[in-house]
Structure 1
Amino acid sequence: MLTYRELKAIQEGNRRNQDVMNLLREVKRLRELAVLTYSILGTMPLSSLGENMHRLNPLFEALKMENAVQGYMRASEHRDRLNFPHRTQGRDGDMAYYLKRYKQDPATKP
């Protein structure tokens, strides 16, 4: 399977070839569609499907193998790490910090 960069390199040698340009646009569109599909289906609660859930497993596995979806998953993990709670500990409105501190300090327990 050719990556987008490899297709782009092919296009560089064939600048005037409209078929290559159309192929690049189609590949980009399909990869964006795969990312959109995974981003929607990956966050939906599908447990209510019951025994029909196993029908979606091949779709999820195929989407996870797509390079664009893997990039989306890496970016999502990176965003989650940036929002790690240690950056907001002690700020007003962050009750988790205060509750954790209260549970650790035996002198403040009733």
Structure 2
Amino acid sequence: MRGVFLALGVAVTIVGAAPAGADPDGGGDGGAGDAAFLAALRAAGLTFSSDQQAIVAGHAVCSMANNGEPGLSVVKQLTTDNPGLSMDAASQFAAAAAKAYCPQHLRK
């Protein structure tokens, strides 16, 4: 998977644990992409401190991908920015962000 992401200075608290009660209609572009992204995070068991922070970080994934940042490097940065976040959870976050916001970065 080529989906990449980075908090780009936005340290998002994401923990591989029980899902938080997020409002799927809040934040970001307010569209279906945000709702799908937040739903995918919850389905993966990833929690976050706020919908808006998760959405901003999700969009940052695509910004990094658009700038040519290698996926592994972005996933590693996410784990650096979010201590306790496993590589697996970071990869799940990246996949959800890419699917919702920049599917052109997913391998077919």
- Give TM-score scaled by structure 1 length: 0.30
Q: Which has the higher helix share?
A: 1
Higher relative contact order, structure no. (Cα contacts within 8 Å, ≥ 6 residues apart): 2
Pick the structure with more strand per residue.
2
